[in-house]
A and B are shown apart, each in its own frame.
Chain A
Amino acid sequence: MRFVDEFRDPAAARRLLTAISGLAGDEEFKFMEVCGGHTHTIYRHGLEHVLPANIELVHGPGCPVCVIPMGRVDDAIWLAEQPDVVFTTFGDMMRVPGSNGNLLDAKARGADVRFVYSPLDALRIAVDNPDKRVVFFAVGFETTAPSTAVTLVRARELGVRNFSVFSNHVTIVPPIKAILDSPDLRLSGFLGPGHVSTVVGNRPYRFVPEVYGKPLVVAGFEPLDILASVAMLLRQIREGRCEVENQYSRVVRPEGNPAALALLAQVFELRPHFEWRGLGFISQSGLRLREDFADLDAEQVYDLPGVRIADPKACQCGEVLKGVLKPWECKVFGTACTPETPIGTCMVSPEGACAAYYNFGRMHRDAAQLVGQSRR
């Protein structure tokens, strides 16, 4: 458990908490943080416990690993097991379960699976190993997609032919819209993603206040940033305003990064549909490589099985991702589903809501008692 005195500038944190209590009064508020990084900060620093009890933070679908459907993981494992393939991925994808094991299992069976910090490192492996075929498992929102795009352009410039990308990049706006369209969720406002917004800017979120009447504040990742953003949301509500505000202005420009957006448009196009674990198919929410890059597109170079696998029945990741259920309310949480043997992807990545609950033990005392009773 962390305390306010371990935050950066604890004096400012105390003042913000006083302001938040004053603004919130006795009314109940439910704010969703869209981004997995925010979820991580909230758990790691115990922010739920320093905020007044009538302010609830709901964890959204902002972990791109958590939303990759099982069938795509199976495709990745199939790719990793092809002859002469070096399969490269970010560390977290290694343990995401497919229908028959994960990438670590594939590695144990002899597949050459390596984890990299950047797709540029994967390209370097391709250059250094001309006799191998290197595939990069690309996941992530608009923050990560530019690094894949830069890598693809670099591969083209260098004339690298033994490199391809299996794109599972997704975009942030469609799932926010899907959540807002969900009838079983009552939200008072959103904490908008920070680093995604350095790329896309503030404008794509305007529909949230304009069409759905919910305020949104783009938030940074320090505990202080989250508290300041909650205060900004409450101030908007109290002052009768409803707009997109930017708390993270030290990093995020309203227009985003135009060079990155131009590059994304050059390399990627929207898929008509992309399946999200727990949320189902969301139209225009996934990115695939444009035809110009077909020779670097693993989906075109290889004949992927592309089998669609239904989510495990016991797993309630969908409800957790939508913020309808708290992780501990899922039937298999902490029993059949743990970070060591995850059933759903929310338990895999440290930013997944379930893993964060499990690892940091963030449960209100009464909730823990309830869970204890139900397990007896």
Chain B
Amino acid sequence: MSTAAPAPLVDEALAADLADASLTLARRFAAGATLWCLAPAWEPHAHHVAVEFVHPVVVGKRALPAVALTGPDLVPSVRISVRPGDVVLAVAAADDSAVASVMRRAPAWGVTTLWIGNGERPPQGAADHVLWLDDPAPSLPATGGFVLLYHVLWELTHVCFEHPGLLTTAPDCTDEVCVTCSDEGRLAEVLTPASGLDPATARTAQGTERVDTTLVGPVAPGDLVLVHAGLAISRIDPEEP
């Protein structure tokens, strides 16, 4: 009698994704990032990820700053917590609307994103790193599959720290872009709407900017717009994939 070997939980592709995500995390931590952990449907995962990175359980390894964000009003909590350069890690299903909204806004906050989940994948490019288990079983979040993923992520992050040469990226020889030629469009989240002669202000990865919103109609704090040469040219639905 012969039995087929069970499919491995982490296949080759997911292993590559884990390695990529760990290197990104190590680079961000090396530059001073804090990791913000979310898991609206399974809050223990958020606490578990945070404690994993914070506790220096292996002798000689540094504690990495990580905080679990739980409770209601997830988007406002993340908005107020993160600084440019930070990382947001979510353990959530692809249809979690609060997490999707955080992921969509993250570029305006200058934040790197990681999304762990199972079943149907989020849309392409929904996060900077998507670590996904294909098994759609609803019980999977309780079986240890995610725990294995973020444990490996934590360990590999420390492996990257052992190779300091990996932690800094070579600067691009030219990273300047021209507003017009590059057809630039930067994501911005409205802070205050226009009032009288004062233009709206908005948050972008570069900081707070004045933005003219004449062409996108009235805006409210939290609205996402695309900015080109100081002018909002398009409005972006924060919930639509």
- Report A's interface with B, CB cutoff 8 A: 5-6, 8-12, 14, 16, 35-37, 40, 44, 62-66, 90-92, 117-121, 139-141, 143-144, 146-147, 150, 193-196, 198-199, 221-222, 224-225, 228, 250-253, 257, 259-260, 263, 339, 349-352, 355, 359-360
Known: A193-B183, A221-B185. A65 touches B178 (CB 8 A): yes
Q: Kindly state the separation between the CA atoms of A147 and B181 in the bound complex, as whole angstroms.
A: 15
Q: Could you tell me the distance in whole angstroms from the C-beta of A245 to the nearest C-beta in chain B?
A: 15
- B91 at interface by CB-CB < 8 Å: no
Q: Could you tell me the distance in whole angstroms from the C-beta of A67 to the nearest C-beta in chain B?
A: 10
By beta carbon, the residue of chain B nearest A360 is B173
- B44 at interface by CB-CB < 8 Å: no
Q: List 29 A-B contacts (CB under 8 A).
A: A5-B16, A5-B23, A8-B127, A9-B130, A11-B16, A12-B124, A12-B125, A63-B181, A118-B231, A141-B180, A143-B228, A143-B233, A144-B180, A147-B229, A147-B230, A147-B231, A193-B183, A194-B185, A195-B184, A195-B185, A198-B226, A199-B233, A221-B183, A250-B236, A257-B234, A259-B216, A259-B217, A350-B181, A359-B174
B16 neighbours in A (Cβ, 8 Å): 5, 10-11, 14
Count contacts between A and B, CB distance < 8 Å: 170
Q: Could you tell me the distance in whole angstroms from the C-beta of B210 to the nearest C-beta in chain A?
A: 8
Known: A143-B183, A150-B212. A118 touches B230 (CB 8 A): yes
Q: Kindly state the separation between the CA atoms of A169 and B230 in the bound complex, as whole angstroms.
A: 17
On whether the beta carbons of A92 and B183 are closer than 8 Å, the reply is no
On whether the beta carbons of B215 and A222 are closer than 8 Å, the reply is no
Instruction: Indicate which residue in B20, B182, B228 contacts A10 across the interface (CB closer than 8 Å).
Output: B20
A263 neighbours in B (Cβ, 8 Å): 214-215
A92 neighbours in B (Cβ, 8 Å): 178-181
Instruction: Indicate which residue in A66, A120, A349, A359 contacts B231 across the interface (CB closer than 8 Å).
Output: A120
On whether the beta carbons of A251 and B236 are closer than 8 Å, the reply is yes
B128 neighbours in A (Cβ, 8 Å): 8-9
On whether the beta carbons of A146 and B231 are closer than 8 Å, the reply is yes
A62 neighbours in B (Cβ, 8 Å): 181, 183
B23 neighbours in A (Cβ, 8 Å): 5
B216 neighbours in A (Cβ, 8 Å): 257, 259
On whether the beta carbons of A37 and B184 are closer than 8 Å, the reply is yes
By beta carbon, the residue of chain B nearest A14 is B13
Q: Kindly state the separation between the CA atoms of A66 and B233 in the bound complex, as whole angstroms.
A: 23
On whether the beta carbons of A9 and B182 are closer than 8 Å, the reply is no
A252 neighbours in B (Cβ, 8 Å): 234
Q: Kindly state the separation between the CA atoms of A40 and B230 in the bound complex, as whole angstroms.
A: 21
Q: Kindly state the separation between the CA atoms of A283 and B107 in the bound complex, as whole angstroms.
A: 40
Known: A9-B129, A119-B229, A195-B228. A65 touches B180 (CB 8 A): yes
Q: Kindly state the separation between the CA atoms of A30 and B4 in the bound complex, as whole angstroms.
A: 45
A120 neighbours in B (Cβ, 8 Å): 199, 212, 230-231
On whether the beta carbons of B183 and A35 are closer than 8 Å, the reply is yes
A5 neighbours in B (Cβ, 8 Å): 16, 19-20, 23
Q: Kindly state the separation between the CA atoms of A150 and B23 in the bound complex, as whole angstroms.
A: 44
Known: A37-B182, A251-B236, A350-B176. A11 touches B231 (CB 8 A): no
Interface positions of B from 137 to 183, Cβ below 8 Å from A: 172-174, 176-183
By beta carbon, the residue of chain B nearest A199 is B233
Known: A10-B20, A225-B125, A251-B236. A66 touches B183 (CB 8 A): no
Instruction: Indicate which residue in A90, A143, A224 contacts B185 across the interface (CB closer than 8 Å).
Output: A143
B20 neighbours in A (Cβ, 8 Å): 5-6, 10
- B240 at interface by CB-CB < 8 Å: yes
Given contacts A11-B130, A120-B212, 9 further A-B contacts (CB under 8 A): A10-B17, A65-B181, A91-B179, A143-B180, A144-B180, A195-B183, A195-B228, A221-B183, A351-B178
Q: Kindly state the separation between the CA atoms of A37 and B234 in the bound complex, as whole angstroms.
A: 17
Instruction: Indicate which residue in B127, B172, B230, B241 contacts A250 across the interface (CB closer than 8 Å).
Output: B241
By beta carbon, the residue of chain A nearest B233 is A198
By beta carbon, the residue of chain A nearest B104 is A250
Q: Kindly state the separation between the CA atoms of A141 and B179 in the bound complex, as whole angstroms.
A: 11
Q: Could you tell me the distance in whole angstroms from the C-beta of A5 to the nearest C-beta in chain B?
A: 4
Q: Could you tell me the distance in whole angstroms from the C-beta of A91 to the nearest C-beta in chain B?
A: 6
By beta carbon, the residue of chain B nearest A350 is B174
By beta carbon, the residue of chain A nearest B237 is A250
- B53 at interface by CB-CB < 8 Å: no
A117 neighbours in B (Cβ, 8 Å): 179, 229-230
- B126 at interface by CB-CB < 8 Å: yes
Interface bits B89-131 vs A (CB < 8 Å: 1, else 0): 0000000000000000000000000000000000011111110
Q: Could you tell me the distance in whole angstroms from the C-beta of B13 to the nearest C-beta in chain A?
A: 6
Q: Kindly state the separation between the CA atoms of A303 and B240 in the bound complex, as whole angstroms.
A: 51
On whether the beta carbons of A37 and B231 are closer than 8 Å, the reply is no
Q: Could you tell me the distance in whole angstroms from the C-beta of B117 to the nearest C-beta in chain A?
A: 12
Q: Kindly state the separation between the CA atoms of A143 and B231 in the bound complex, as whole angstroms.
A: 10
By beta carbon, the residue of chain A nearest B128 is A8
Q: Could you tell me the distance in whole angstroms from the C-beta of A278 to the nearest C-beta in chain B?
A: 15
- B36 at interface by CB-CB < 8 Å: no
On whether the beta carbons of B178 and A144 are closer than 8 Å, the reply is no
Instruction: Indicate which residue in B178, B184, B215, B236 contacts A259 across the interface (CB closer than 8 Å).
Output: B215
Q: Kindly state the separation between the CA atoms of A351 and B129 in the bound complex, as whole angstroms.
A: 27
B215 neighbours in A (Cβ, 8 Å): 146, 150, 257, 259-260, 263
